[in-house]
């Protein structure tokens, strides 16, 4: 795909006011993945976090995720790094055992067994392969986001497999949180707060 127009796909949105169909790009398209890594190399961006929502995780291998190998190949070709991130939004209402099984099976079957972590392009920190769990938060815990017990069990599982675990959190007050979720934050190797759009910047020059 050479032109921007060729990278657009018909969406399920309503027809635009000018009568044209609503078109969007698809992050799993081979040409778009290649373009993203072209841009990363061009503009000096070293690493990409490959974010996948909890709701898309599968218990078994799925050909639907073959684009992940394309990401790996493009990262290798462009001398860039990548790592896997799960967005756990929506997982809080799932029973803990079911949630753990779903993420564990998805990671083993669709990530590890496909050779992604073994790639020279897979990001490491402190000598360990990186994984990020976004959406671990004391706010809406057990509702939108996993409970403290579920979050800790998931972190412990990845640690047990030798991973460097990053927590991505929308919890602005994570540094002052105590109790069970305070223990969750303390167990992470790194915390990545979600600052974008979280604070009122009015009056800031």
Q: Could you read off the pLDDT of 116-128 as tens digits, one per residue?
A: 999 999 999 999 9
Distance of CA 55 to CAs 12, 51, 129, 138, Å? 19, 12, 23, 20
pLDDT score for 113 = 97
Query: pLDDT category, 6, cuts 50, 70, 90?
Result: low
What whole-number distance in Å separates Cα of residue 151 and Cα of residue 178?
15
Average pLDDT (68-95) is 97
Query: pLDDT category, 205, cuts 50, 70, 90?
Result: very low
H-run or E-run covering 170: none
Average pLDDT (24-28) is 84
pLDDT score for 5 = 52
Length of the chain: 205
Residue 200 has pLDDT above 90, yes or no: no
pLDDT in tens, 104-119: 999 999 999 999 999 9
Q: Say if strands 128-134 and 164-169 run parallel, antiparallel, or are unpaired.
A: parallel
159-163, long-range: CB within 8 Å, 24+ apart, which pairs?
159/187, 162/128, 162/129, 163/128, 163/129, 163/130, 163/131
What whole-number distance in Å separates Cα of residue 151 and Cα of residue 61?
24
Contact 157, 112 (CB under 8 A): no
* Alpha helices, H only, the chain: 30-43, 67-77, 96-107, 148-160, 179-187
Average pLDDT (159-180) is 93
Average pLDDT (114-143) is 96
Query: pLDDT category, 24, cuts 50, 70, 90?
Result: confident
Residue 88 has pLDDT above 60, yes or no: yes
Higher pLDDT, 15 or 201: 15
Q: What is the average pLDDT value for the chain, to the nearest integer?
A: 91
Token pair 């790639």: residue: 119
Contact 148, 171 (CB under 8 A): no
pLDDT score for 198 = 62
Residue 173 has pLDDT above 90, yes or no: no
């Amino acid at each position: 795909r050479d032109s921007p127009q060729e990278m657009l796909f018909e969406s399920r949105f309503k027809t635009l006011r000018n009568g044209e169909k609503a078109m969007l790009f698809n992050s799993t398209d081979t040409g778009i993945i290649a373009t993203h890594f072209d841009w990363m190399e061009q503009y000096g961006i070293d690493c990409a976090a490959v974010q996948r929502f909890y709701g898309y995780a599968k218990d078994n291998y799925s050909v639907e995720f073959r684009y992940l190998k394309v990401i790996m190949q493009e990262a290798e070709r462009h001398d860039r790094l990548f790592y896997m991130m799960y967005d756990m939004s929506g997982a809080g209402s799932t029973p803990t055992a079911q949630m753990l099984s779903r993420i564990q099976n998805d990671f083993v079957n669709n990530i590890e067994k496909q050779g992604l972590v073994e790639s020279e392009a897979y990001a490491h920190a402190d000598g360990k392969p990186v994984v990020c769990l976004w959406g671990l938060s004391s706010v809406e815990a057990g509702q939108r986001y996993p409970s403290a017990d579920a979050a800790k069990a998931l972190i412990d599982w990845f640690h047990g497999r030798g991973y460097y675990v990053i927590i991505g959190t929308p919890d602005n007050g994570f540094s002052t949180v105590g109790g069970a979720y305070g223990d969750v934050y303390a167990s992470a190797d790194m915390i990545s707060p979600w600052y974008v759009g979280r604070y009122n910047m009015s009056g800031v020059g």
